[in-house]
Amino acid sequence: MKHKYLFMILSQLCMLHIAHASTTQSIPSGLMYSNKPIDSLCFMSDKNKSEIDLKKCGANKKTFTVKAMNQDLSKQGYLGYDYEDKSYTPALHGYSYYKYYPVSENKYWVYTINNSGGTGQFTAVYSVERKNQNTLILEGIASGDRCLGGIQDVSEKSGNLIYSVNLTAFDLIASVDKNTKLKAFDDLAACAVCCTAKSFYTVDKNTKSKLEYVELNKVSDVSEMPEQGVIEACFNKLYVSYIKEKSVKLTPEQLNSFVNEFKQTCVK
C-alpha cells in the first residue's frame, strides 16, 4: 500500500514538472531569466522609459512570499503569482501578473495587472525590449487604476496591439479639452469606481498610439450615472440623450462634437 501511495505522489510530481517544462518552453527566450519566466514584478515602472536590472527586481528582492497562481488567469495565458508581504502587520496579500504579445525577436508588448493589498487594480501596457542578458528596456504606453485609466480589452491583431482605457466623466471631457479648467471631483465625477466610457486604441510596432473610437457605457437613465460633481447632472442628461438619439460608439470626430456640446450646454 505504501508503494502505491508513493507511486501516486511521484506520478503527480512528474506531471507538474512536465507541465512547467512545457509552459517554460513556449515562452520566448527574451522573456526568460535564469531558466524561468521573468518575474512579473520586474514589469513595473512609473517612468516613460526606464532600464530594469533583472538581478535587482522580483518577489525575492522585495522579500515577498509567493503563495499561489490564479488558475483562471493562468488559463488565459498570464504569468505571475499571488503573494504575501510580511513587512506589514497583518501581512498584506497582493498579486502580480502579465501577458505578453511578441513584436519582434527581442521586443514585446506586455500587459500587467497588479494589486498591492488594497482595493485597487493597477493595469499597464508597456513596450518591452530585451537589451541584454540582465537588462530590460520598458517604455510605458498607458496605465491606470480601475476607472481611472485602467487598461482592458488587450489583444493583438495584424501586428498591432489593441487596448481600451477606462474613462470617468472628467477624463472623457479632458481627453478632448486638454486645457479644461474644470476640476476633477468638484465639477465632474472622477472616482476609481465612476466608469463612464472606454477609449479604444491601436498601437503599431513603432509604439505610436491611435485613438480608434470611444464607447459609452450603455445606460438608459441618468439614475445609473455617477453623481459626483456640481455639473455632473447636466453631463449625465446630455450623455443619456446621446445614447438614445445617436450612438454608444463615437468616432474621434463625434467625440469632439459631444465635448463641444457639453461645454456649450453645461459650462457657464
pTM, two decimal places? 0.88
pLDDT at residue 22 in the model: 37
Q: Is 195 inside a domain boundary?
A: yes
pLDDT at residue 124 in the model: 98
Query: Residue 239 is placed in which grid cell?
Result: 450623455
Measured distance CA(268)–CA(74) in Å, rounded: 51
Q: Is the pLDDT of residue 11 over 80?
A: no
Task: Average the pLDDT over 240-245 and give the result.
Answer: 93
The residue among 102, 128, 145 that closes a domain is 145
pLDDT at residue 88 in the model: 87
Q: Are residues 140 and 182 in the same domain?
A: no
Q: What residue numbers bound the domain in which 248 lies? A: 147-268
Task: Average the pLDDT over 129-141 and give the result.
Answer: 97
Q: Are residues 215 and 99 in the same domain?
A: no
pLDDT at residue 176 in the model: 97
Number of domains in the chain: 2
Range from 3-7, 23-27, 57-61, 110-114 that averages highest in pLDDT: 110-114
Q: Are residues 114 and 177 in the same domain?
A: no
Q: Are residues 157 and 208 in the same domain?
A: yes
Q: Is 36 inside a domain boundary?
A: yes
Percentage of the residues of the chain whose pLDDT score is greater than 70: 91
Q: 54 versus 105: which is more confidently predicted?
A: 54
Q: Is 251 inside a domain boundary?
A: yes
Task: Average the pLDDT over 90-103 and give the result.
Answer: 95
pLDDT tens figures, 17-66: 333 433 445 899 999 999 999 999 999 988 899 999 999 999 999 989 99
pLDDT tens figures, 177-191: 999 999 999 999 999
DSSP 17-70: HHHHHHHHHHS-GGGEETTEEPPGGGS--SSSEEEEETTS-SGGGTTPEEEE--
Measured distance CA(147)–CA(119) in Å, rounded: 12
Q: Which residues partner with 36 through β-bridges?
A: 33
Average pLDDT, the chain: 90
Q: Are residues 216 and 123 in the same domain?
A: no
